[in-house]
């Protein structure tokens, strides 16, 4: 039968005990435990995204499509526009249309608050803002861990989702939004 002190000893019996070696061994073990588990052959490429909230759910967009994040100030509502167009704002002397992704994705509506922000998306041919309930943070995600969007997500907004990360974090395909002809209003 082993002595309880042998079970609690952080070094093996053939190692000589010194306080420094015990601390070194514990530090090495802590680093090994804290290291992410990487499967052999797993895609480890990362991409930087902006994480934000929409109707209490977490979403993200790749930073390469984001020109800036702005405060929601005065918004001018436009009659006769599709329901997903919240209105327009003046930003740096330019008129910018604001898309309500909650409507596009079929999420429940929510009133405007002081936490709302405008995420300005810019592509080759189009620039517009999308409404976010709040900005969470920027972070780097492992693109190899992105899973396909679940089949429960359906409707026209499903085509704008790249996939899902555990948490869950829904990844929005900004390129699909920026290149969709539906987003162009009054261009007949």
In a domain? residue 136: yes
How buried is residue 51: exposed, middle or buried, by Cβ count under 10 Å (0-12/13-18/19+)? Answer: buried
Write out the E strands in 8-152.
Answer: 46-54, 57-62, 66-71, 85-91, 94-99, 117-122, 127-132, 134-142
| Secondary structure (H, E, C), 148-186 | CCCCCCCCHHHHHEEEEECCCEEEECHHHHHHCHHHCCC
Longest distance between any two alpha carbons in the chain, whole Å: 86
Does 97 lie in the same domain as 141? yes
pTM of the model: 0.71
Q: Which of 122, 110, 15 is nearest to 66 (CA)?
A: 122
Residues 64 and 97 in one domain: yes
Predicted pLDDT of residue 11: 52
For the domain that residue 146 is a member of, what is the CATH number? 2.40.50.180
60 part of a folded domain: yes
Q: Tens of pLDDT along 22-68?
A: 777 777 777 765 555 444 444 457 889 999 999 889 999 999 999 99
The answer to whether 162 touches 148, Cβ cutoff 8 Å, is no
Could you list the residue range(s) of the whole structural domain that residue 8 is in? Answer: 4-34
Q: What percent of the chain has pLDDT over 70?
A: 75
Indicate if 69 and 128 belong to the same structural domain: yes
Q: Render pLDDT for 6-21 as a digit per residue (tens, 0 to 9).
A: 445 555 555 555 556 7
CB atoms under 10 Å from CB of 152, counted, come to 6
């Amino acid at each position: 039968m082993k002595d309880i002190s042998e079970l609690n000893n952080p070094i093996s019996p053939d190692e000589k005990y010194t306080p420094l070696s015990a601390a070194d061994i514990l530090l090495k073990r802590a680093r090994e435990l804290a290291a992410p588990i990487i499967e052999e052959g797993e895609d480890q490429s990362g991409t930087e995204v902006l994480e934000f909230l929409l109707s209490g759910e977490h979403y993200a967009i790749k930073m390469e499509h984001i020109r800036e994040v702005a405060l929601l100030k005065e918004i001018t509502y436009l009659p006769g526009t599709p329901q997903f167009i919240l209105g327009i704002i003046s930003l740096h002397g330019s008129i910018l249309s604001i898309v309500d992704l909650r409507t596009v994705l079929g999420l429940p509506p929510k009133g405007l608050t002081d936490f709302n922000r405008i995420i300005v998306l810019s592509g080759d041919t189009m620039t517009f803002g999308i409404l976010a309930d709040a900005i969470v943070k920027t972070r780097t995600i492992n693109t190899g861990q992105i899973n396909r969007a679940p089949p429960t997500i359906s409707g026209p907004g499903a085509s704008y989702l790249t996939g899902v990360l555990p948490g869950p974090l829904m990844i929005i395909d900004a390129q699909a939004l920026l290149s969709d002809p539906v987003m162009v209003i009054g261009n007949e």
